[in-house]
Amino acid sequence: MQWMTFTSRGSVWGSLMTRCVLVFVLMASSATWAGQRPLKGGPIKPEILYHNYCSVCHGDKGDGNSRAKGSLVPPPRDFTKAGELGRQTMITIVTHGKPSTAMTGWQTQLTQKEIEAVVDYIRSTFMRVVLDPRLQQGQAVYIHNCMVCHGDKGQGAMSSVGLVPPRNFATPQARAELTRERMIYSVTNGRPNTAMAPFAKRLPTKDIEAVVDYIRTGLMMPEAGDISGTSAHSRGRSGEAENGMAQTFVNGLKGDPAKGGKLYMTTCATCHGAKGDGKGPRAYFINPKPRNFLDLAFRANFNRPAVFLAVAEGRLGTEMPAWSKVLTEQEIADVSEFVFQRFIRPGTKAAGGKR
């Protein structure tokens, strides 16, 4: 027992020493360039911000090979192998941090413009070496054909009087409503009563698909609550989220929560848990952890279309598969309705639609 006590104390002491060393390294690194931090209101220098705040963990080359690497579990992100990370996802993580990691939120120390600048610096400096050539092509197509209306960051631009404004891709509504197939159709055939012209005669199919994939990967807002455990996507949008909760499923589908409950228990509960808390039997072995449906940010932002989309398309970089390859649209609507009624809005009745 004495040996066990000594070992336990030694472990705690070692952990404390590790934290102290990490803090010391961070302070020393920041002090090196502290005098070079741009003055408030002056020009933003993202390379200095990265060196001061990020390099101690992520390394000078963005590969995660830093002095602190051995002390962090899980290890820092290697940006040279993070081509799946979209810009908005990265901004969210830098702003609010990432639970269960050493990645803290920087919103109290950096301005929004500084956060965006350092994210763009990381993407252009370290991530470009692994950017999918197809996404590079999509980016080129976007810049040449789409940016004039939708903006350089997908935020939408000014429209002519009387016309519907261009779609703002950087909103939770866009992520929830726009499937890949719907976007390809809109780019190909245009949208009536808007300035969105058809590109079928101007772009080959492969370019249309590439630009859609670029928009979805690099410009669209990550799924609401994508960084589980944070309120990253709920701030300032509670009204929008509440209004969106009345939306029905795509294609006029109506989910059956009774059938969906059976599907959930046999298909989803092993990861997400019978209570929807992300603590199913397999959760211990999964990283990143399964979605916690009881998370406040998730419940505040995920409506029926968003749940349907997540189930149908899965989530890149996680063990959440695209169930559209296994389940029918009706089955996806059923299990989505169960999740919505049981965990997101308990007591809600099924939305109207066809069965």
Half-sphere exposure of 281 (CA within 13 A, CB side): 6
pLDDT of residue 189: 93
315/148 Cα distance (integer angstroms): 30
Residue 183 has pLDDT above 90, yes or no: yes
In residues, how long is the chain? 355
pLDDT of residue 223: 47
Rounded to two decimals, the pTM is 0.38
Residue from 160, 334, 343 nearest 258 by CA: 334
Cβ atoms of 230 and 106 closer than 8 Å:
no
Burial bucket for residue 352 (CB in 10 Å: 0-12, 13-18, 19+): exposed
Give percent above pLDDT 90 in the chain. 20
pLDDT of residue 298: 72
Same topology between domain 133-219 and domain 257-344: yes
pLDDT of residue 185: 93
Rounded alpha-carbon distances, angstroms, from residue 249 to 87, 107, 305, 308: 28, 35, 5, 7
Select the highest-mean-pLDDT range: 69-78, 132-141, 241-250, 252-261: 252-261
What CATH topology corresponds to 46-127? Cytochrome Bc1 Complex; Chain D, domain 2 (1.10.760)
pLDDT of residue 320: 84
Spacing of C-alpha 39 from chain mean position: 31
Rg (the chain; Cα; Å):
23
pLDDT of residue 347: 63
pLDDT tens-digit readout, 63-118: 888 877 777 788 888 888 776 677 777 888 898 888 878 888 888 889 999 998 99
pLDDT of residue 339: 94
36/304 Cα distance (integer angstroms): 49
pLDDT tens-digit readout, 136-147: 788 889 989 998
Start-to-end CA distance of the chain, whole Å, equals 64
pLDDT of residue 259: 96
Residue boundaries of the structural domains of the chain? 46-127, 133-219, 257-344
* Residue where the block lists tokens 């090196």: 32
Cβ atoms of 194 and 204 closer than 8 Å:
no
Structure tokens at 3: 């040996």
Backbone angles phi, psi at 47, to 5 degrees: -65, -35
Which residues lie closer than 8 Å to 349 by C-beta, 6 or more apart? 341
Residue 46 has pLDDT above 50, yes or no: yes
Domain 257-344 matching CATH 3.40.640.10: the answer reads no
Which residues lie closer than 8 Å to 150 by C-beta, 6 or more apart? 142, 156, 157, 166, 167, 168, 169
Least confident of 71-80, 119-128, 131-140: 131-140
pLDDT of residue 12: 43
Spacing of C-alpha 52 from chain mean position: 25
Residue 337 has pLDDT above 80, yes or no: yes
pLDDT of residue 145: 92
Strand partners, 164: 194
Rounded alpha-carbon distances, angstroms, from residue 92 to 67, 112, 290, 308: 25, 10, 19, 23
Residue from 95, 97, 110, 60 nearest 80 by CA: 60
DSSP 14: H
Cβ atoms of 124 and 182 closer than 8 Å:
no
Which residues lie closer than 8 Å to 338 by C-beta, 6 or more apart? 255, 257, 260, 261, 263, 264
Least confident of 27-41, 97-111, 335-349: 27-41
Structure tokens at 246: 């009345």
Residue 246 has pLDDT above 70, yes or no: yes
Per CATH, the number for 133-219 is 1.10.760.10
Structure tokens at 315: 């989530």
